[in-house]
Amino acid sequence: MPKITIALMRDLEYKVKKGEISYSRMVEIINKTVQGYSDPLKERFEKICNEYAVKFAQKQEIEFEGWLSEIGMYAEFSNESCFEFHLIKHDVDTNQPKGLIFEWQEEYNKHLKSGDRISYYAWCMGLRSDNVSSRK
């Protein structure tokens, strides 16, 4: 978050109260102050997310298409698959075999209605639907 000093805010509020500037002008000044502000932490996070997505795509031999929402949420790939960042990160960090995440995704989607879904983390540790008794 950009730092708008208390002094600047007080000065702008004072000018609005005195009628020297309009409220919309105050908002315009604030927007210009924060425009172009770069947050180094956010920039590093976005860079890291993109690096993970690209590394994941290379490993899976697919293309990283981009983020469906903000960077670090849902990544879309050329084979029409979409994964949350935490799944991509887990896959890369734990060096899962190529294609394992797609096997999991297919199985996960089969069990959406039944409720017998297995997380990717558990799937990577070998848990499968046939190893689990139904929760019903």
Q: Count the domains in the chain.
A: 2
Q: Is the pLDDT of residue 112 over 80?
A: yes
Domain contains 136: no
Tokens of 66: 């981009």
In angstroms, the CA 49 to CA 58 distance is 14
Q: What is the pLDDT of residues 25-78, one digit of tens each?
A: 888 877 777 666 667 888 899 999 999 999 999 999 999 999 997 889 999 999
Handedness of CA 39, 42, 45, 49 (dihedral sign): negative
| Shared-domain flag, residues 89 and 60 | yes
Query: Domain range holding 79?
Result: 40-131
The pTM for the full model equals 0.69
Q: Where are the beta strands (DSSP E) in the chain?
A: 64-67, 74-77, 82-84
Q: What is the pLDDT of residues 83-109, one digit of tens each?
A: 999 999 999 999 999 999 999 999 999
| Shared-domain flag, residues 79 and 125 | yes
| Shared-domain flag, residues 57 and 120 | yes
| Shared-domain flag, residues 61 and 4 | no
- Angle, CA 127 vertex, CA 122 and CA 128 arms, to 5°: 125
Q: What is the pLDDT of residues 2-13, one digit of tens each?
A: 456 677 778 888
| Shared-domain flag, residues 21 and 54 | no
| Shared-domain flag, residues 14 and 68 | no
**Per-residue model confidence (pLDDT) at position 1:** 44
